[in-house]
Chain A
Amino acid sequence: MSLLSIEGLTVALPKGGDRPHALRDVTLELNENEILCVVGESGSGKSMTASAVMGLLPEGVLAESGRILFEGRDLLVLPEPELRKLRGARLGMVFQEPMTALNPLRTIGSQIAEMFRVHTQLSAHERDARVLALLEQVRIPDPAAAAKAFPHELSGGQRQRAMIAMALALEPKLLICDEPTTALDVTTQAQILELIRDLQRRTGTAVLFITHDFGVVADIADRVAVMRHGEVVEQGPAAEVLNHPRHPYTRALVAAVPPLTPPAAQPLGGETVLRIEHLTKTYRKAGLFGRNRRVTHAVRDVTLSLPRGGTLGIVGESGSGKSTLARCLVRLLDPEAGSIHIDGQDRLALTKTELRRDARRIQMVFQDPYASLNPRRKVGELVAQGPMVHGTPRAEAMAQARELFELVGLDPRGLDRFPHEFSGGQRQRIGLARALAMKPEVLVADEPVSALDVSVQAQVLKLLAELRTRLGLSMVFITHDLRVAAQLCDRIAVMRQGEVVEEGATAEIFANPRHEYTRALFAAVPGQGWTPPVAFGAEEMA
């Protein structure tokens, strides 16, 4: 008999939602000593499945029919006190964002010890010993210090390790991981995945692993279930689903994963459109009388150049200075040393007024499709605004906006709508249209696809690649994702702690990374051993 079996689970959403059911007739099985990956895009119901198992469904959301059998008992009809005895002790959970899942006012050690206080009769002394042993098990450096630390004093990866230690404290039979590595950097993600896999093998725990990333699935799954709109569309052994996907949705998802091999390089002229030389930006935190004074070198002596019509990828983890560099390029931030030349014009020598008048040379696409559009303006106006500020008559600017809407693949009839009526992918297209309306010579894109679902991400990448050839766009593309960089960039610069550690043609860097940090980044990309069986972008969602 399997450890956990979900049978025909249907969960109703409150009336007035976009669909009547969060989950429909979901049937899943999880055996002991097995990792089941539940994969899906946002709104697929994958997290709702985890919440249903833990008995943590949001208010107003009720399980209508079906059963969740855990060790032969139906969790849906179990009274709350019985359920409480199971949670923590037999069912562990690791959340996506370790900073909000931990109590900021209590030390890591006391939060882990609480598991023992609630569920066991151990003495304080025994509890402390167990906490230390657990922290050692999850390989936190200096466990004794970590136990006394508060959550904000640890790094993201260490916090997630502490969360895993807490979830594993009472050796649960079932561990639920809800996107545990999504908020982490790629090198940290690789470590956490290895840790989960390793602990699972040693303890024989069953793991229900929720993720949106097929690379992660390829790395750790024994079996895979693919969800869409609250239904399981395909499930089976990992090798089977990954290499021979049958359902069209699964095939489309697999086709949306960019492969790690860059496509053939496009020919580029020798002319340089953007030249960055010795650019330096530091953040200073002033402290009273010199105490706590901190200087952060966000960008340190960066020299790069972008050939006309080419795409320069800037790859790095959080805190590497790649976003600061992007903001310096468009002068949202003022670097204190170095120079930026576009077409021979020194951008840093311009006064504020000149800069405003000459804004069209370099434009930017932002990361967050929800925050980057003014919610109180119609999207047509948002796109037409730039040219209008610079003196284009309204009628002409609106006609231009209409053309741009078609160019980026949106229905021009949507010009009169407000941003909230569009999906994330559509909004990112609007942001792109707004930047293109200025006819920029250089387009800076700051993680333009990282907030999007994988299938939408593939579409936007395709659009960017298309526009690049059609308009001869020169682009600086900021990303943390090497797979994305491989598909779009002609040249890649790898940044770490404000410095460019390696720079070169994409194919060269992918074939032969020279710097050790670049090699570490490549080693951490999830799902390297797996080549998607469906060509990138070959099949799309119905």
Chain B
Amino acid sequence: MALLQRYLRSPAAVIGLVLLLLVIAMAISAPWVFPRDPLSLAGRPLQWPGANPNFWLGTDNTGRNIAAQIFHGARVSLLIGLVATAISIGIGIVVGALAGFYGGWVDDVLMRITEAFQTLPNFILLLVLVAVFGSDIQTVTIAIGLVSWPPSARLTRAEFMSLRSREFVQACRVLGMRDARIIFREILPNALPPVIVYASVIMAVAILLESSLAFLNLSDPNVPSWGNLIGAGRGVLRVQWYVSAIPGVAILLTVLAVSLVGQGLNDALNPRLKSR
């Protein structure tokens, strides 16, 4: 409760939370507000927003309803963000925890692997993965998770390194606990807060990565994602710029919301840092 109170004290964090809730509401309500397939032909192509009361955000260059695509796209973007983040944090925590707890050669091996991933620009790596394994939505999501775990592994490792020498960990060993129990039940809860905060950054990046793929026409064309819509609008960018701009704004607001929530969580979890 104290956490919620501290969180609500920051106006930016509240704005972020409201925006995020709005996006979630759009995602949930999409099948009721726009029951038709958002990728089906709805009307004359390239109608400006407001020109036709049936299409209040207009239509794109193949005559699909932009508003319907935005609502359904919210589902896709949030889903990709959540699943990719879960994958990336999951790998990151396991790698970081093992490396930080055991040190020595375990640390060396795991960190060299992490560095191998980090030295490659993650978008290039993502392109390679998509090129090899195809571009349906599951593959894209897993690929995004696979390219974005190294920072969370490093973060978890740093936390574990400072926590493993604490006396309470030694106390657990003296009590005769197994390593796995010490790592995941005793140390991990103490190491989690900064990782959870960092998850918001990963989620924002995951949404952007998917959009970037879609913009290059490399994402799954059979789902109504915001990135696909931007990609579609690319051809008419100079005249009918709204086709790309509307999903662009949607991405901007969602990423902003996720970042603000993460920042707010960070301040609420570390109240002492804020007052300095």
Chain A residues proximal to chain B, CB less than 8 Å: 327, 330, 332, 355-360, 362-364, 366-368, 371-377, 385-386, 389-390, 431, 434-435, 438
- Is B176 in contact with A374, judged by CB distance below 8 angstroms? no
Nearest residue in A to B175 (C-beta to C-beta)? A386
Interface-lining segment among B165-173, B200-208, B234-242 = B165-173
- Is B190 in contact with A438, judged by CB distance below 8 angstroms? no
Given A371-B167, A374-B168, list of 17 further CB < 8 A pairs? A359-B175, A360-B176, A362-B174, A364-B174, A366-B167, A366-B170, A372-B166, A372-B167, A372-B171, A373-B168, A373-B171, A374-B186, A374-B190, A376-B190, A385-B172, A389-B176, A390-B176
- Is A431 in contact with B171, judged by CB distance below 8 angstroms? yes
Nearest residue in B to A431 (C-beta to C-beta)? B171
How would you classify the secondary structure of chain B's contact residues: helix, strand, loop or mixed?
A: helix
The one of B170, B174, B186, B189 that contacts A359, using a Cβ cutoff of 8 Å:
B174
Is B178 interfacial (CB 8 A cutoff)?
yes
Is B181 interfacial (CB 8 A cutoff)?
yes
A368 to B167, CA, bound (A): 7
Cβ–Cβ < 8 Å partners of B175 in chain A: 359, 363, 385-386, 389, 434, 438
Cβ–Cβ < 8 Å partners of B172 in chain A: 374, 385
* Shortest CB distance A248–B (Å): 35
* Shortest CB distance B189–A (Å): 5
Is B25 interfacial (CB 8 A cutoff)?
no
Contacts across chains A and B counted by CB atoms under 8 Å: 60
Chain B residues proximal to chain A, CB less than 8 Å: 166-168, 170-178, 181, 186, 189-190
- Is A389 in contact with B190, judged by CB distance below 8 angstroms? no
Cβ–Cβ < 8 Å partners of B186 in chain A: 374, 377
Cβ–Cβ < 8 Å partners of A330 in chain B: 174
* Shortest CB distance B64–A (Å): 50
- Is B176 in contact with A355, judged by CB distance below 8 angstroms? yes
Cβ–Cβ < 8 Å partners of B176 in chain A: 355-360, 386, 389-390
* Shortest CB distance A444–B (Å): 9
Cβ–Cβ < 8 Å partners of A364 in chain B: 170-171, 174
Cβ–Cβ < 8 Å partners of B171 in chain A: 364, 366, 372-373, 431, 434
The one of A327, A355, A372, A390 that contacts B168, using a Cβ cutoff of 8 Å:
A372
The one of B170, B177, B189 that contacts A332, using a Cβ cutoff of 8 Å:
B170
A21 to B173, CA, bound (A): 43
Nearest residue in B to A446 (C-beta to C-beta)? B167
Nearest residue in B to A370 (C-beta to C-beta)? B167
* Shortest CB distance B171–A (Å): 6
- Is B167 in contact with A356, judged by CB distance below 8 angstroms? no
Cβ–Cβ < 8 Å partners of A374 in chain B: 168, 172, 186, 190
- Is A363 in contact with B189, judged by CB distance below 8 angstroms? no
* Shortest CB distance B61–A (Å): 54
Question: What would be 23 A-B contacts, judged by CB atoms less than 8 Å apart?
Answer: A332-B174, A356-B178, A360-B176, A362-B174, A363-B174, A364-B170, A364-B174, A366-B170, A371-B168, A372-B168, A373-B171, A374-B168, A374-B172, A375-B168, A375-B190, A376-B189, A376-B190, A385-B172, A385-B175, A386-B176, A389-B176, A434-B171, A434-B175
